[in-house]
Amino acid sequence: MIIDCHGHYTTAPAALGEWRERQTAALGTPQAPPARAELRISDDELRETIEPNQLRLMDERGIDMTVFSPRASFMAHHVGGFETSAAWAAICNELCHRVSQLYPERFVAAAMLPQSPGVDPATCVPELTRCVEELGAVAVNLNPDPSGGHWTAPPLTDRSWYPLYEKMVEYDIPAMIHVSTSVNPAFHTTGAHYLNADTTAFMQLVQGDLFADFPTLRFVIPHGGGAVPYHWGRFRGLAMALGKPPLEQHVLGNVYFDTCVYHQPGIDLLYDVVPARNILFASEMIGAVRDIDPCSGHHFDDTRRYAEAAKLPADDLAAVQEHNARAVYPRLDALLARQDR
Amino acid sequence: MIIDCHGHYTTAPAALGEWRERQTAALGTPQAPPARAELRISDDELRETIEPNQLRLMDERGIDMTVFSPRASFMAHHVGGFETSAAWAAICNELCHRVSQLYPERFVAAAMLPQSPGVDPATCVPELTRCVEELGAVAVNLNPDPSGGHWTAPPLTDRSWYPLYEKMVEYDIPAMIHVSTSVNPAFHTTGAHYLNADTTAFMQLVQGDLFADFPTLRFVIPHGGGAVPYHWGRFRGLAMALGKPPLEQHVLGNVYFDTCVYHQPGIDLLYDVVPARNILFASEMIGAVRDIDPCSGHHFDDTRRYAEAAKLPADDLAAVQEHNARAVYPRLDALLARQDR
């Protein structure tokens, strides 16, 4: 089977965006923000946004199951404070949960966290707990820069993040490292900020020794790891200069890269330098790049074609497409086992 | 011949660092900063820092000529204000000029600019002029983030940068886009900030239409273009989504990538996706990564080995190693012609 570990609900019904607009419009005014219960979206409306979009493409591309989380660029943790993010994360997470209930063999939920710039990450633990225990989440998305491109948060190796890591370890769930919209005009959101965050997070992990404290903690770095595999020699050399063990020992027991790289030479390089056990199939559709590549005649984000054209040994391809995801997301594996898959 | 378009004076005599320490110690105190004339470094001292270091490695690796600029991480434009950067840039540029005079067939100067956060880039024009007209500079290094990792400057397409571009066009010199030390704990300087800046700058150029205003302006993006070639499909797709022409038409008439990528698969990918005419040989030695790669037995930054192992057609290899640099740096070409090379 083929598991896509990186899908976002980018096609949610317009009512969701309208609720968010009312919430943000109320900020800094005496008006109360809308109540969560004021958002009403029927199951049919969910189906109408999923079936002609993600589900259609999954069927066309032979993707069996997608780890499905709220739209990354809409997380916008920089907006408002903790209460703003708490209400917003709650309703976004509930929608992904409902999609996973409507199509239990095709989607499984991953949660966004109610992060807010300058607010203790420990405040996200209750929503993480709720998502895992009540909404079936098998992973979380963790934003290393809740400020939206100002990078005011400490590195991921800082102890302020530890309460989240403790809970992730307790539930045996991984985090995908994923920023949201950039409000810094220097950074285009999907063309710079996302890739920079991937590179930045990886280097923070190389600089630190986080996995000595959390030997079973697991991070998925999306977008093929940002600049990292292309500069694998540079990172190997920097690890040496920092007196760290080789990357394989230092971080590759805990860090995984997805395959959201939208051309064949990039994917070929990823498979060439990163061990197959550290690569997870993903497409991020429907996401940043939606057109058809005039060079190939196929969608840029039809990443299954690249994976299969890379001519990996069959065992490695099966690891990338299925087995690694089942190992990195044990709650997904348990769900699939319950479904006899 | 082989031209290395990216070398920094990372081995300058200790007196330079001591002068800088006195300058920064005086900031915010009633003390006057040291005068430029207080820095005294003899020609022999320069020779002692160049001959066993950059010049030795150039000889070992068969590099004929290096475009030589002040140490990037020491530019530290975030320190002090315009006057601080002006004095510091002046003495750093003079040292590179003196090295180019001691070894006129091996080094040619490129200038750092006296940038300062929040200060109009037009204030850098006098130093640019002095470096080209009096110090023989064939290029400048342009820092898109003088704040040192806080990214407070507008994108490179903003009109505030135009006075610099007008002068670059007048002198027909390119700029290498190069940040300096990160003082933001989120970003490791050479493992994240440098690569992020390369990716960020490229995406700013894709978003804008700068080369419609400056058809002959030329930028060199170092470190192999950050994440860009690895994600070439993503950038092609984002250009389409933004309604821009294909990257070849939109930016590749004006943007070049260097070969500071420290392993063979990365260099192979660079040659695979970027036209050979847009690639300039470089090693950035002695720079960020100084060790010997245990996988190859050679220095990570011995990039000539990768270039030649990539088995480019002979014409393309000559373009990358020599002819492109002569086209992108016409003042270097004129110097070489005067030397009958």
Burial B149-186 (b: 16+ CB within 10 A, else e): bbbebebbbeeebebbbebbeebbbbbbbbbbbbebeb
Residue of A223, A230, A299 to mutate, testing the B interface (most B Cβ within 10 Å of its Cβ) = A230
Taking residues A272-301, what's their average pLDDT?
A: 96
Cβ(A207)–Cβ(A155) below 8 Å: yes
Identified catalytic residue from A94, A127, A284, A322: A284
Residue of A156, A199, A206, A273 to mutate, testing the B interface (most B Cβ within 10 Å of its Cβ) = A199
Adjacency order of strands within the sheet including B140-142: B111-112, B140-142, B175-177, B219-221, B255-258, B279-280
| Span A181-215, pLDDT tens digits | 999 999 999 999 999 999 999 999 999 999 999 99
Residue with tokens 């378009």: B5
Supply the mean pLDDT for chain A. 98
Q: CA angle, corner A230, sides to A229 and A232, nearest 5?
A: 55
DSSP-based three-state secondary structure for B108: strand
The letter for the amino acid at B318 is A
| Span B202-226, pLDDT tens digits | 999 999 999 999 999 999 999 999 9
Nearest chain B Cα distance for residue A155, angstroms: 5
The pairing of strands B175-177 and A219-221 is unpaired
CB–CB contact B289 A238 (8 Å) = yes
Residues B188, B73: Cα–Cα separation, whole Å: 11
Residue in A187, A203, A265 closest to B269 by CB = A265
Nearest residue of A to residue B186 by CA position?
A155
Cβ(A286)–Cβ(A10) below 8 Å: yes
Query: Is the pTM value of this prediction over 0.95?
Result: yes
Q: What is the DSSP letter of B139?
A: -
- Residues of chain A with Cβ-Cβ distance to B204 below 8 Å are 186, 188, 192
- Residues of chain B with Cβ-Cβ distance to A154 below 8 Å are 185-186
Cβ(A103)–Cβ(A31) below 8 Å: no
Please give the pLDDT value at position A309.
96
**CB-count exposure of residue A82 (10 Å: 0-12, 13-18, 19+):** middle
**CB-count exposure of residue A223 (10 Å: 0-12, 13-18, 19+):** buried
Please give the pLDDT value at position A199.
98
| Span A310-320, pLDDT tens digits | 999 999 999 99
Specify the DSSP element, H or E, that contains B8.
Answer: strand B3-9
Nearest chain B Cα distance for residue A154, angstroms: 6
Please give the pLDDT value at position B176.
98
CB–CB contact B154 A233 (8 Å) = no
Taking residues B191-201, what's their average pLDDT?
A: 98
Q: Quick one: residue B188, left, alpha or beta (phi over 0 = left, psi -120 to 50 = alpha)?
A: beta
Taking residues A92-111, what's their average pLDDT?
A: 98
- Residues of chain B with Cβ-Cβ distance to A191 below 8 Å are 199, 203, 206-207, 234-235, 238
Nearest residue of A to residue B151 by CA position?
A186
Is B133 one of the catalytic residues?
no
The letter for the amino acid at B29 is T
Strand partners, B175: B140, B219
- Residues of chain B with Cβ-Cβ distance to A204 below 8 Å are 186, 188, 192
Residues A247, A295: Cα–Cα separation, whole Å: 35
Nearest residue of B to residue A147 by CA position?
B150
CB–CB contact B196 A191 (8 Å) = no
- Residues of chain A with Cβ-Cβ distance to B288 below 8 Å are 234, 237-238
Nearest chain B Cα distance for residue A121, angstroms: 16
Residue with tokens 């068969």: B62
Taking residues B291-299, what's their average pLDDT?
A: 96
Q: Give Cβ neighbours of residue B314 (< 8 Å, ≥ 6 apart).
A: none
DSSP-based three-state secondary structure for A257: strand
Would you list the DSSP string of A295-309? Answer: TTSSBTT-HHHHHHH
| Span A129-171, pLDDT tens digits | 999 999 999 999 999 999 999 999 999 999 999 999 999 999 9
Sign of CA pseudo-dihedral B299, B98, B172, B153 = positive
CB–CB contact A224 B207 (8 Å) = no
- Residues of chain B with Cβ-Cβ distance to A188 below 8 Å are 200, 203-204, 206-207, 238
Q: Is A288's pLDDT higher than 90?
A: no
The letter for the amino acid at A253 is G
| Span A34-69, pLDDT tens digits | 999 999 999 999 999 999 999 999 999 999 999 999
Nearest residue of A to residue B296 by CA position?
A233
Residue in A191, A229, A265 closest to B272 by CB = A265
Nearest chain A Cα distance for residue B45, angstroms: 27
Q: How confident is the model at residue B19 (pLDDT cuts 50, 70, 90)?
A: very high
ipTM given for this complex? 0.98
Please give the pLDDT value at position A226.
98
Nearest residue of B to residue A262 by CA position?
B233
Within 10 A of B139 (CB to CB), how many other CB atoms are there?
A: 28
- Residues of chain B with Cβ-Cβ distance to A226 below 8 Å are 195, 227
Residue in B192, B233, B269 closest to A300 by CB = B233
Nearest residue of B to residue A208 by CA position?
B188
Tokens of B101: 């005079």
DSSP-based three-state secondary structure for A107: strand
- Residues of chain A with Cβ-Cβ distance to B231 below 8 Å are 195, 223-224, 261-263, 266
Residues B275, B292: Cα–Cα separation, whole Å: 29
Q: Is B288's pLDDT higher than 90?
A: no
Helix axis angle, A43-50 to A82-102, nearest 10°: 80
For residue B256, report the phi and psi dihedrals to the nearest 5 degrees: -130, 150
CB–CB contact A192 B186 (8 Å) = no
CB–CB contact B266 A231 (8 Å) = yes
Residue of B206, B234, B274 to mutate, testing the A interface (most A Cβ within 10 Å of its Cβ) = B234
Please give the pLDDT value at position A289.
93
Q: Quick one: residue B34, left, alpha or beta (phi over 0 = left, psi -120 to 50 = alpha)?
A: beta
Identified catalytic residue from B94, B127, B284, B322: B284
Nearest chain A Cα distance for residue B33, angstroms: 32
CB–CB contact A230 B227 (8 Å) = yes
CB–CB contact B236 A293 (8 Å) = yes
Taking residues B161-188, what's their average pLDDT?
A: 98
Nearest residue of B to residue A153 by CA position?
B186
- Residues of chain B with Cβ-Cβ distance to A288 below 8 Å are 234, 237-238
